[in-house]
Amino acid sequence: MSGKKVSWLKSCGAAWQGIVRTVKNERNGRLHLAATVLVITAGFLSSLERWEWAAILLVIAFVWSTELINTALETLLDRLHPEAHPLIGAAKDAAAGAVLVAALAAVLIGILVFGPRLWF
């Protein structure tokens, strides 16, 4: 039983290191971290409803998940094929596109949640 517990804890530690490495090494990771802190702070200051928190936390997780997958894919592809290749570029562009879609969704949900508090 303890072997599984240690394995799970090691997995969590490795996952956390992936997040930390992304924030340290990727400009967009730092941008997402700043946006996350800003939005969560704004949420506390705005006294969001439970459903609003659910929406905000869901899109934060969506953006971070796509960014981490994008970073993993780019890192792997750069290691496996360091020179430029059209198919590698297409894969990296598609992964970056997924992050863009997530970020745009987050902005729109942010407008829906915070907009009425700011403009009305």
Q: How far apart are CA 112 and CA 6, in angstroms?
A: 42
Q: pTM of the entire structure? A: 0.89
Query: pLDDT tens track of the chain, all 120 residues?
Result: 455 667 998 999 999 999 999 999 999 999 999 999 999 999 999 999 999 999 999 999 999 999 999 999 999 999 999 999 999 999 999 999 999 999 999 999 999 999 998 886
Domains in the chain and their CATH numbers? 2-119 (1.10.287.3610)
How far is the C-alpha of 108 from the C-alpha of 105, rounded, in Å?
A: 5
- The tokens for 34 are 């700043």
Contact at 8 Å (CB) between 43 and 53? yes
Q: Indicate if 67 belongs to the active site.
A: yes
Distance CA 19, CA 63 (A): 13
Selecting among 26, 49, 52, 67, the annotated active-site residue is: 67
